[in-house]
Amino acid sequence: MTVELLAALVVIALGIVQVVLQAGEFRRVHGVPYANTAQDAPSAQADSVLLGRLTRALRNLHETLPFFLGVVIILALMDHSTTVTRISALVFASARIIYLPLYAMGVPYLRGLVWTFSFAALVALVISALGAADWGGLLASI
């Protein structure tokens, strides 16, 4: 298993943790009976601050996770693992792990900086994959 794929596995595990935390807080705030409905009617309880933060943090992970998983799988299929891709994948995974408690605690500027590191790492992975692609072979096959 490549470092990049291992980082992807770590981020998937983080996503599962985030789902469990968000679902647990939802059930604590709104109650298990309401959580088990189709939630067609709004809850009588307002969301807690923590529930809002956990929900937004999970949504934020959902926004970048498909791109991260896609590029890591592409890199693995290309058999392209370099120092840059390994470090970028580890930075992405580490930043996402750090991002969650920062968001949950409501830390504004540091959280944004950590997100920026994760996004820059994602961009570096995509640029590396684009740079390693066999563009000449692709054009020749058209």
In the predicted model, is pLDDT for residue 137 greater than 90? Answer: no
**Which pLDDT value is given to residue 35?**
92
Q: How confident is the model at residue 139 (pLDDT cuts 50, 70, 90)?
A: confident
Neighbours of 70 (CB within 10 A): 14
CATH number attached to the domain at 3-140: 1.20.120.550
| DSSP one-letter code for 141 | T
**Which pLDDT value is given to residue 136?**
80
Q: Over 81-104, what HEC string results?
A: CCHHHHHHHHHHHHHHHHHHHHHH
pLDDT in tens, 38-88: 999 899 899 999 999 999 999 999 999 999 999 999 999 999 999 999 999
- Domain coordinates of the chain in residue numbers? 3-140
Mean pLDDT of 101-106: 98
**Which pLDDT value is given to residue 138?**
75
Nearby residues of 26 by Cβ (< 8 Å), 6 or more positions away: 35, 51
